[in-house]
Amino acid sequence: MAKGRGWSTPPSAFADVVESALTQRSRAIAMAMLGEIVYKSPVGNPKLWKKPPPPGYTGGRFRGSHIVSVGAPVYTQTTKIDKNGAETIAEGNRQLSGLEPFTVIYIQTNLPYAEKIEEGHSTQAPGGVYEVAFHGVSQAYS
């Protein structure tokens, strides 16, 4: 910049660009994390169980239980069944549609048996779900 000359672009415009890039990056990481969580979530397979399933059982509740919220956690339990995970990912995408810069994003499940799954009690997810997903996504975005 030459002496006596002003900025050709105001610094505030640069701040807007940075905030926009930060928001896009946060959204991309959150969606990657949600995708990993959903696809690593076990879907009940009664053939692998020691006891027979309850009458009317259908797998996919854990996969459908993941909740994305912005700004504050949500403490409700869903009853959604989502065997392939598409609906859960679409809902997460909707929750992130109006994301603002510097906002905290929460991804959680509130099912009572989720902790057991995270501790490796599922043969389909012996390393858990959230921790494994976190490590994979953090490696991809580091």
In a domain, 101, yes or no: yes
Q: Is the pLDDT of residue 1 over 60?
A: no
In a domain, 8, yes or no: no
In a domain, 3, yes or no: no
In a domain, 7, yes or no: no
In a domain, 78, yes or no: yes
How do strand 105-108 and strand 67-70 relate by DSSP bridges? antiparallel
pLDDT in tens, 72-116: 999 999 989 999 999 999 999 999 998 999 999 999 999 999 999
Q: Is the pLDDT of residue 3 over 70?
A: no
Domain count, the chain: 1
In a domain, 133, yes or no: yes
In a domain, 62, yes or no: yes
In a domain, 85, yes or no: yes
CB count, 10 Å around CB of 125?
A: 17
Confidence (pTM): 0.86
Tell me, what's the pLDDT at 132?
Answer: 97
**Domain carrying residue 103:** 13-44+58-140
